[in-house]
């Protein structure tokens, strides 16, 4: 299987980040697919009815990190 990896890092407001997460959550709740369009590349991925959810939170002196990972 070929690997397609889309990585994206950008600074944005907390509200903009929440909006992006809401959009992804809406796709997961209403569709069987999630769609990414980055730099002219459009990828549509089927998501099964059952997924594995992993949440990690790190708190440190140099900053905090919340990582959300879905696998299937």
Say what the pTM is. 0.77
What's the DSSP call for residue 53?
Answer: E
Domain range annotation of the chain:
14-71
Residue 7, classed as helix, strand or coil, is coil
Q: CB-based contacts of 59: which residues, under 8 Å, 6+ apart?
A: none
What would the pLDDT profile of 4-47 be if each residue is shown by its tens digit?
A: 777 778 899 999 999 999 999 999 999 889 988 877 888 889 99
pLDDT over 70 (residue 1): no
Q: Is 18 or 3 the better-scoring residue by pLDDT?
A: 18
Residue at token pair 């990690």: 56
């Amino acid at each position: 299987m070929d690997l397609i990896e889309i990585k994206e890092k950008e600074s944005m407001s907390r509200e903009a980040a929440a909006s992006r997460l809401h959009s992804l959550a809406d796709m997961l709740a209403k569709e069987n697919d999630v769609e990414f369009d980055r730099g002219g590349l459009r990828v549509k991925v089927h998501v099964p009815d059952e997924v594995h959810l992993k949440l990690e939170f790190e708190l440190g002196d140099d900053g905090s990190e919340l990582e959300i990972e879905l696998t299937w």
